[in-house]
């Protein structure tokens, strides 16, 4: 690895000052589990790394029943997984974070880094999308908000402009009788990248049976994650019996636009998008029923 400059600012303003006017050769470092590998392998040529882990605003982890979850962009996946309100109210997001790499990777890797890396197979983006997370972004001109569904714009590309940092995710509080779930399929038992993935968030009516709201997102089956409105429509207004779950799965398969690569064929990924949608919806439903 070539020698490089390293800064570890303690404030957000200092970090934004360091970033201002820099180009591709400056790398923002959260856990480094993507960035350092990309630099070492020559995929990115970085001359200056800016470590953001010491910045308080990027380490916030807080839950309030009225305002929901605030998750700092640099919080390690491990810390999110150990945070009891996240386990209780956003189990699908915790599932995504706890699938990343291994225990060692999760102790460094952040949800922010997972999303900023822009991989269509990233394990936390679909859970964030179905929870209607807002990504809070800061640059020298101030703060702006980007909906999670709009954050990834292509493979390795995001809505971040040069000089901007992702500061935190704000996730609304879960409505009563709601839950979420995330599933992915990988060819090996662990330490692999998703061939297909699905996140589902559902809310039931007072009767505890009828679905009043659903959000379904599928990953690794297109250049960016896909919010499948037709799959959600197959659940909304219905009891979540097999026929409704099957219809949601079929809608996800129809929406998937994957490529064939070393991990799986187009046909297999299309099929798996449907299977994972159906199973994740069942899991979310079971979670609501268990909490009654």
Ligand X SMILES: Cc1cc2nc3c(=O)[nH]c(=O)nc-3n(C[C@H](O)[C@H](O)[C@H](O)COP(=O)(O)OP(=O)(O)OC[C@H]3O[C@@H](n4cnc5c(N)ncnc54)[C@H](O)[C@@H]3O)c2cc1C
Q: Which residues bind ligand X (CB under 6 A)?
A: 27-35, 37, 52, 73, 99-101, 105, 108-110, 112-114, 116-117, 122-123, 160, 165-166, 191, 193
Which of residues 35 and 285 has its CB atom nearest to ligand X in the complex?
35
What does the DSSP 8-state code read for residue 289?
H
Which of residues 136 and 248 has its CB atom nearest to ligand X in the complex?
136
Here the tokens at position 119 are 């991989």
What residue is closest to ligand X based on CB? 113
Interacting residues of 111 by C-beta distance below 8 A, sequence separation 6+? 71, 73, 75, 77, 80, 93, 97, 124, 128, 169
Closest separation in Å from C-beta 244 to ligand X = 29
Closest separation in Å from C-beta 164 to ligand X = 7
Closest separation in Å from C-beta 34 to ligand X = 3
Q: How many CB atoms lie under 10 A from the CB of residue 176?
A: 9
Which of residues 220 and 281 has its CB atom nearest to ligand X in the complex?
220
Q: What's the sign of the alpha-carbon dihedral 119, 120, 122, 124? A: positive
Q: What's the sign of the alpha-carbon dihedral 256, 262, 265, 270? A: negative
Contact criterion met (CB below 8 Å) for 284 and 205 = no
Count, residues in the chain: 292
Which of residues 26 and 179 has its CB atom nearest to ligand X in the complex?
26
Strands 157-158 and 152-154: antiparallel
Closest separation in Å from C-beta 156 to ligand X = 8
Which of residues 30 and 244 has its CB atom nearest to ligand X in the complex?
30
Closest separation in Å from C-beta 278 to ligand X = 22
Closest separation in Å from C-beta 247 to ligand X = 29
User: Distances in Å between the alpha carbon of 143 and those of 10, 12, 118?
Assistant: 19, 12, 21
Which of residues 57 and 178 has its CB atom nearest to ligand X in the complex?
57
Strands 165-171 and 48-51: unpaired
């Amino acid at each position: 690895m070539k020698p490089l400059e390293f800064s570890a600012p303690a404030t957000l303003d200092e970090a934004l000052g360091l970033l201002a006017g820099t180009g591709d050769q400056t790398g923002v470092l959260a856990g480094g589990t993507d960035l350092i590998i990309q630099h070492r392998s020559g995929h990115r040529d970085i001359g200056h790394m800016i470590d953001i882990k010491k910045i308080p605003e990027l380490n916030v982890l807080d839950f309030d029943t009225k305002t929901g979850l605030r998750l700092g962009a640099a919080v390690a996946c491990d810390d999110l997984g150990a945070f009891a309100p996240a386990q209780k109210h956003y189990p699908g997001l915790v599932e995504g974070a706890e699938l990343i790499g291994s225990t060692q990777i999760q102790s460094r890797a952040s949800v922010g880094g997972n999303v900023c890396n822009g991989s269509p197979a990233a394990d936390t983006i679909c859970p964030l999308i179905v929870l209607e997370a807002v990504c809070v972004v800061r640059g020298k001109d101030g703060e702006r908000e980007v909906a999670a569904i709009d954050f990834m714009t292509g493979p390795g590309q995001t809505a971040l402009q040069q000089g901007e940092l992702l500061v935190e995710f704000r996730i609304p509080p879960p409505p009563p009788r709601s839950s979420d779930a995330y599933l992915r399929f990988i060819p090996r038992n662990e330490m692999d990248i998703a061939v297909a993935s699905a996140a589902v968030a559902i809310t039931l009516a007072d009767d505890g049976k009828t679905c009043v709201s659903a959000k379904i997102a599928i990953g690794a089956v297109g250049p960016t994650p896909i919010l499948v409105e037709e799959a959600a429509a197959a659940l909304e207004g219905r009891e979540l019996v097999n026929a409704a779950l099957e219809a949601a799965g079929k809608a996800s398969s129809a929406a998937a636009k994957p490529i064939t690569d070393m991990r799986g064929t187009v046909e297999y990924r299309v099929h798996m998008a449907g299977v994972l949608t159906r199973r994740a919806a069942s899991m979310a439903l079971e979670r609501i029923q268990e909490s009654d």
